[in-house]
Amino acid sequence: MVIWIIGLSGAGKTTLASQVVERIRGLNGKVVLLDGDLIRALFGNDVDHTIEGRRRNAERLSVLSNFLAGQGIHVVAAVLSIFPEWQRWNRENIPGYYEVYLKASMQTLLGRDIKNLYGRAMRGEIANVVGVDIPFPEPGHPDLVIENESDLQDLGELTDRIMSLAEVRQALGCA
């Protein structure tokens, strides 16, 4: 099973994904957390944040998720996922693929922007920021859409919503 959590920077993807991973581990599930930034680091930061660099990282995340799932390891991926063609590839090639769109308004994201990523991009100080100068296409057919305008310290209810998906419960053997 692969739970693919999509959202802009600051939406809470990694925080939520970490909680989902802990919940799966509590059910004695073999699970790994994949994060776009961690995969970049794992491969020596050999891709940049341009569209092409992001495309290559997206391919790595999808192929690696498919490989791990094929080995009986559940995957929870926290990714920007700006390429509909890779979302489509995931659906066509990864058995037990579930897409969750973690949606937050730009106002909320700006309030959570501890790295000042959006602020610097809006002032023209940096480029290649998704949601500012790189478009963010909302996923076309997610299995679950979660509005996350709440405090990132308490994502228990959002974790419950992901874990309550009948398909996820079945994949974990607790349906």
Residue of 81, 105, 150, 164 marked active site: 81
The pLDDT value recorded for residue 115 is 87
Provide the CATH topology of domain 2-169: Rossmann fold (3.40.50)
Does the pLDDT value for residue 175 go beyond 90?
no
Residue 139 vs residues 29, 35, 43: alpha-carbon distances, Å: 27, 18, 26
What is the average pLDDT score of the chain? Answer: 90
Report pLDDT digits (tens) over 1-19. 999 999 999 999 999 999 9
Predicted TM-score (pTM) of the model is 0.91
The pLDDT value recorded for residue 158 is 85
The pLDDT value recorded for residue 8 is 96
Does the pLDDT value for residue 174 go beyond 60?
no
Beta 144-147 vs 31-35: how paired, if at all? unpaired
Residue range 102-119: average pLDDT? Answer: 92
Report pLDDT digits (tens) over 42-96. 899 899 999 999 999 999 999 999 999 999 999 999 999 999 999 999 999 998 9
Domain ranges of the chain: 2-169
Catalytic residue flag (residue 81): yes
Residue range 29-36: average pLDDT? Answer: 92
Token pair in block for residue 163: 């874990």
